[in-house]
Amino acid sequence: MYEYRISREEKEKWCSIPLDQLEGHPDSKIKLILQDTRPQVAELVGNMMADELIANNVAGKITKWVLPSGPEDQYKTFIRRVNEERISLKNLYVFHIDEILDWECRPYPKENNPKSCEGRMLARFYGKIDPELNVPEVQRIWPRVEDMDYPDRLCEELGGIDTAWIGVGFHGLVGANEFPENPFYNLTMEQYASSKTRITVKNLDSIILKSVRTYGGLYDVIDPFMITLGFKTLLTARRCVAMVATGKLKPTVIRVAMFSEPTLEYPITLFPKYVPEVIFCCDRKSADHPLSYDEIILSNENMGRD
């Protein structure tokens, strides 16, 4: 199904690397920046956002970003600096990475609905920025069912993305670009890298994980459909900055992103192939893999235990 599939031996090798050897590892395909805590990671990323915008404003350039509705901790630092330092967002184009759709592939109402990514961003991002500084509404680009080609077309007209600020799923998803698990529909890596804005079906493991993390395992309330920017737009970025600070959920995907060859098994691994600079900002707890300090974790006597 995949042109390259990671072996168990490779994963075990990468996951066995001690935490204190990860940052600056000579074999890493990305730049890893470790902080002690999640708030420190969020502050770091928020400051990176503000600094890039200031530099582009001074140079008289427009700024083109991809932004997620989550993680969102970094926006607190960014918004504070924008309002306090009077940083103009008038020349900022924001390509929002995805939106949740209901079971009939319709978006949810934006007003007071936690399932609306746009609603969350209106309340927690745009709604907290001084109107005199804010991003013009026409420059807030959402993937929409009624015109799925618009984000890709506009991105091409603008000459690509400057920075894609992203989150990464435990199996390497970016936005709603998950690994293609349908055994009867095979895609090449080149096809996936050229994928346009589209409606996607959530993989079963994503539904289960989301239900456990957010709804106490009530998987019935997890909507199966998303509309997402495809890799055609995301991979135009000159820089990608991922904030990964979710504790025990993602130390494996951090290491896969660092060391793996590109594979659709973990879509995030395509970024180092196409994007000149890929940075992962993580807290130490999220990057610390139990396999690096527990030598019997995969022994037969422990397999299958809770």
Residue 296, domain member (yes or no): no
Q: So what's the pLDDT on residue 36?
A: 97
Q: What is the pTM of this model?
A: 0.93
Q: So what's the pLDDT on residue 234?
A: 98
Residue 92, domain member (yes or no): yes
Residue 134, domain member (yes or no): yes
- pLDDT per residue over 46-65, tens digit each? 999 999 999 999 999 999 99
Residue 280, domain member (yes or no): yes
Residue 24, domain member (yes or no): yes
CB atoms within 10 A of CB 213: 11
Q: So what's the pLDDT on residue 186?
A: 85
Place of tokens 């991809």: 66
Place of tokens 């991003």: 135
Residue 78, domain member (yes or no): yes
* CA–CA gap between residue 180 and residue 176 (Å, rounded): 11
- pLDDT per residue over 18-40, tens digit each? 999 999 999 999 999 999 999 99
- pLDDT per residue over 65-102, tens digit each? 999 999 999 999 999 999 999 999 999 999 999 999 99
Q: So what's the pLDDT on residue 296?
A: 56
- pLDDT per residue over 167-192, tens digit each? 999 999 999 999 988 878 889 999 99
Mean pLDDT within 232-247: 96
Q: So what's the pLDDT on residue 4?
A: 84
pLDDT band, residue 304 (cuts 50/70/90):
very low
Which domain, by its residues, includes 167? 8-286
Q: So what's the pLDDT on residue 222?
A: 87
Which helix (H) or strand (E) is 238 found in, with range? none
Q: Which CATH number characterizes residue 169's domain?
A: 3.40.50.1360
First to last CA, the chain: 31
List strands edge to edge, sheet with 31-35.
Answer: 31-35, 277-283, 239-244, 163-166, 63-67, 92-96, 140-141
Whether residue 157 has pLDDT greater than 90: yes
Whether residue 295 has pLDDT greater than 80: no
What is the total count of domains within the chain? Answer: 1
Residue 271, domain member (yes or no): yes
Residue 303, domain member (yes or no): no
Whether residue 121 has pLDDT greater than 80: yes
Q: So what's the pLDDT on residue 306?
A: 47
* CA–CA gap between residue 226 and residue 98 (Å, rounded): 7
pLDDT band, residue 299 (cuts 50/70/90):
low
